[in-house]
Amino acid sequence: MVDPLPQERPFLDALHNDDWPAPSRAWRLDEVGLAPGALAELFESQLMSRHLDLHARRLQARGEAFYTIGSAGHEGNAAIAAALRPTDPAFLHYRDAAFLIQRSCQVPGQNPLWDLLLSFVASAEDPISGGRHKVLGSKALAIPPQTSTIASHLPKAVGVAHGLGLQRRLGGDSEWPADSVVLCSFGDASFNHSTAQGAINAAGWAAYQGAPMPLVLVCEDNGIGISTPTPEGWIEASLRARPGFHYLACDGCDLLDTWQAAREAARLARARKQPVFLHMRCVRLYGHAGSDAPQAYLAPAQIEADEARDPLLVSAGLLRRHGVLERDAIAAHYHAVSERVAELGEAAICRPKLESAAQVMASIVPPARPGRALAWQGEVDTTPAPMAKRLNQALERLMQRYPSLVMAGQDIGRKGGVYGVTQRLQAQFGPHRVIDTLLDEQTILGLGIGLGQNGLVPILEIQFLAYLHNAEDQLRGEAATLSFFSNGQYTNPMVVRIAGLGYQKGFGGHFHNDNALAVLRDIPGLLVACPSNAADAVGLLQEAVRLADEEQRVVVVIEPIALYHQRDLLEEGDQRWCFADPGPEYRLPVGALGQWGEGHDLAIVSYGNGVYLSRQAIARLEADGIEARLIDLRWLTAIDHDAVHRAVADCKHILVVDECRRTGSPSEELVTALVERGVAGERLARLTAEDSFIPLGRAATATLPSVAQIVERARALVVTAEERQPATGSGARMPERDT
């Protein structure tokens, strides 16, 4: 027999004395519609969850397990699992092991104890994450993994709920049945997070207007967030009268009370397609995690009171009161599960682990799937036009070619976007495919994650780059990690269009002119593109949609606001920054470079507004007899540094023009990569923006690279530098491209 831990003493004492606490309400089994055998099955799931928690601590003490945030005290969520269908998508709180275990009873061929133990010991055979994290998830059980449920999963649950009806209307293949209910659980402390509040508000906002929202939000209220108490009555007072929601409450320590409330929640959400807030009161046992000592911040009387409400004690009492199991049978079940968990635990620690960087990173990039683009029969507009018009035409074409493509963002529908890029698209395709969202970037990104996870291809618009920062965790912590932590089993492909960068005249200040891209460029697996002209904008957007559709990637396209309507290059009226539509098949693959000119004196490497400014600077340099070429990066992540090196290797000097701030900018990576490939430091220079925010008014461009600065830096590099080292390498180049 496994030696009991001190945490088991209250249950073992109650078992010895056959003395169990009374439930909060005297429900009869027939009254709530639960058979005796079903009650015993729920108790079995609770026992499995509890013994997993206990054994995780034993394994951690031996250095064999790495995660001890357990479910003890929350095991009542087993009844919620039983009240739902096993095909209903469930985004789970990290204390919901009993939910996963109970759901596995509804799907043949499952072995939840073994699967969860593999996760505890970070085995490469863990069927959900492949050993990358201890997460609750299962493809077979419709449970996408959540890495750390501090409310960040709520926005995408709202997105999935909205996507169910949208998929039904569009007639596409959905990840889940069209009549599903989406479940999302979280703690009472997470309820206060701005992400949770935004998602709750968005769900209610949609439902208030009659939009289908079959969503059950379960707040597992144990009264404390690590060490900070939740005010008594706070959750109920905040949600009972919330517009758009049905509020239900239950005692999560009482299986029968939880079962009846969960059944009603599922009925309301499924039948009425309306969101339900299920307030499940429970307790947290054994502290926040294995390293946490609740005695440091809880009075002994409070700890004892929580132990007296242990859901296992209440459940055992229900089994006895309703004549389902005798005391000896309960004892036999308890010890048999303990022995089984210990036996499987010893086997699990012997299973293979991840050993190499390649193994760890294998699931960062999602698996490919067949493309769904339809043929396009329209005419191509050969009349030169600026970037905003070309993007609008490309979006219209993409909406026609991809029936599963949906656009969403603030003001993109009726108004057509702040800069007119999405004009007339809502009138053509309908408000269900061109969605005007509420003003909440977390909700916009979460909506896209949920839509993408449900088989759609979302194109989201963030109105300004500076607006991204209050929501960037939806990209960093959710969108980009789903494939990684599910071993490629779940994906959320999406395209995010963001209007950004500087050089706007007379508008905005730092909150509308943001030239910081580091927050996007360091997210593993995320792709970032930045066009400099109208033709490239079409090619990058069309490739971004292909990447989302066929390769299930998350792609961000940074669109330079200052170039949206720019027509002229060198003089007023020359129309040299207007381009013909390159057509529906024009795509610029990741790493593909653009090039203007063939000069060997100087190579300028840039992107976005920097390309436009450098073209003007090169015209002045040519008047000085300096022959230059310009390399346009186009993609700011997954840069093909070998291709960049080939493109500049036969030039005497190389100048990187970077409109981002000096610290954390793409130019740091570019210069480093060139030096690593043998380019001498004296041949290199970079011109960047200052490490500053952008002001309003005439000083708006004072901190940014200018044409005059590019010319000055280039002349200093070429004219005054001693030719100490001859250029080397033939330097394969891309064809020259011009207006």
Cα distance between residue 57 and residue 345, in whole Å: 11
User: What are the Cα distances from residue 67, in Å, to 98, 134, 291, 665?
Assistant: 16, 7, 10, 36
In this predicted structure, the answer to whether residue 88 has a pLDDT above a threshold of 50 is yes
* 8 Å CB contact between 442 and 391: no
pLDDT tens string 656-679: 999 999 999 999 999 999 999 999
Q: What is the mean pLDDT of residues 257-265?
A: 98
C-beta of residue 164 within 8 angstroms of C-beta of residue 182: yes
Identical fold between 6-361 and 594-719: yes
Write down the pLDDT at residue 699: 87
Asked if residue 734 has pLDDT above 70, the reply is: no
pLDDT band at 4 (very low <50, low <70, confident <90, very high): very high
Q: Are 455 and 167 in contact (CB under 8 A)?
A: yes
Question: What is the torsion angle, in degrees rounded to the nearest 10, for the CA atoms of residue 410, residue 414, residue 418 and residue 422?
Answer: 90
pLDDT band at 506, cuts 50/70/90? low
User: How would DSSP label each residue in 465-507?
Assistant: GGGGGGTTHIIIIIITTHHHHTTTSS---EEEEEEE-S--SSS
pLDDT in tens, 122-131: 999 999 999 9
In tens, the pLDDT along 437-469 reads 999 999 999 999 999 999 999 999 999 999 999
Query: For 301-329, what is each residue's pLDDT tens digit?
Result: 999 999 999 999 999 999 999 999 999 99
pLDDT at 460: 98
- Alpha-carbon distance 104 to 111, whole Å? 8
CATH class of 594-719: alpha beta
User: pLDDT band for position 147 (50/70/90)?
Assistant: confident
Give 231's contacts (C-beta < 8 A, 6+ positions apart).
none
- The CATH class of 6-361 is alpha beta
Domain range list for the chain = 6-361, 387-563, 594-719
Residue tagged active-site, from 55, 93, 512, 653: 512
CATH, range 387-563: 3.40.50.970
Q: Which residues pair with 706 in a beta bridge?
A: none
Residues 263, 82 contacting (CB under 8 angstroms): no
Q: What average pLDDT does the chain have? A: 94
Specify the pLDDT at position 697. Answer: 84
Give the tens place of pLDDT for each residue, 192-202: 999 999 999 99
Angle value at C-alpha 445, between 442 and 447, nearest 5 degrees = 100
With 60 as the cut, is the pLDDT of residue 115 above it?
yes
Mean pLDDT of 614-637: 97
| 71: nearest Cα among 125, 112, 129 | 112
Q: Quick one: pLDDT at residue 67?
A: 82
Decide if 512 is catalytic. yes
Question: Residue 737's pLDDT is what?
Answer: 42
Structure tokens at 130: 């492949």
Residue 483, pLDDT > 70, answer: yes
Q: Please report the pLDDT score of residue 732 as a whole number.
A: 36
pLDDT for residue 524: 96
What are 207-228's pLDDT values in tens digits?
A: 999 999 999 999 999 999 999 9
The reported pLDDT for the residue numbered 68 is 86
pLDDT on residue 150: 82
